[in-house]
Amino acid sequence: MTKLSVNINKIATLRNARGGNTPNVCQVALDCEKFGAQGITVHPRPDERHIRFSDVWDLKPILKTEFNIEGYPSPDFIKLVKSVKPHQVTLVPDPPEAITSNSGWDTVKNLDFLKEIVSDFQSVGIRVSIFVDTNLKNIEFAAKSGTDRVELFTEPFATNYPKNKEKAVAPFVEAAKLAKKLGIGINAGHDLSLENLAYLHTMIPWLDEVSIGHALIADALYFGLDDTIKSYKKQLE
């Protein structure tokens, strides 16, 4: 079964816009779990423009489902993750000023660096996922790093889905097949929505997890958080 992890960064963005604690990030995370989310994802950035490092500490003891922390493995990020010990860490290559993650790792060029980081996190019992595109070399070298999983960067799929869904999904299917052959798990994330999620899952039913934030929170403005999470989970049936 493919798990749904809800990225709550947008909740923190809304809170930070006015200061104070409305909406309450921890309460929303608990509500997501109550409504059926099988995981919570956060991406703390150095400038703390949405999720703060303190949020990560606040969330850890209260979450009952899987906790996934994603981010660039800077020294501060590594220290935070190893201290908090989430179930999973997702390594992304984006610089601090990036608005959102917009590319996968060049795992060939960064193999030695990734090997060291992967081993470091695994040594304290944290599962590691590496954010990658569909370049098969990047999948192959991600496996060489010792990572447990890769997360497929699905923005190109989402962008091209309305034009030609079969063509849009084809490289993702090939990448997922290779990852499966190499014995690593497969996550997916970025721009997945109620429009395209079911088709992706139909074509890659062995996905371990999808991490969705922006579209899900936007849909919740219209449909409510409870019904929205149920709708996303239905796409994964």
Output the pLDDT for position 103.
Answer: 74
Q: Which two tokens stand for residue 62?
A: 């209260």
Which residue do the tokens 């009952």 mark?
64
Query: What are phi and psi for residue 44, nearest 5 degrees?
Result: -75, 125
Note whether residue 237 is domain-resident: no
**Domains held by the chain: number:** 1
Output the pLDDT for position 95.
Answer: 66
Q: Which two tokens stand for residue 14?
A: 């809304």
Output the pLDDT for position 96.
Answer: 62
Dihedral class, residue 192 (left if φ above 0, else alpha if ψ from -120 to 50, else beta): beta
CB 114 within 8 A of CB 102: no
Domain that holds residue 159: 3-232
201 among known catalytic residues: no
d(CA 62, CA 48): 21
Q: What is the CATH number of the domain that holds 131?
A: 3.20.20.70
Output the pLDDT for position 100.
Answer: 57
Residues 6+ apart with CB under 8 A from 85: 60, 124, 125, 126
70 among known catalytic residues: yes
Note whether residue 94 is domain-resident: yes
- In order along the chain (237 residues), what is the average pLDDT of each group of 10 residues? 97 95 98 98 93 97 98 95 98 72 87 98 98 97 98 97 98 98 97 98 98 98 98 97
Predicted model pTM: 0.95
Which of 33, 70, 151, 209 is labelled catalytic? Answer: 70
Which of 50, 151, 190, 201 is labelled catalytic? Answer: 190
190 among known catalytic residues: yes
> Which one-letter DSSP state was computed for residue 199?
H
Q: Which two tokens stand for residue 223?
A: 């449909």
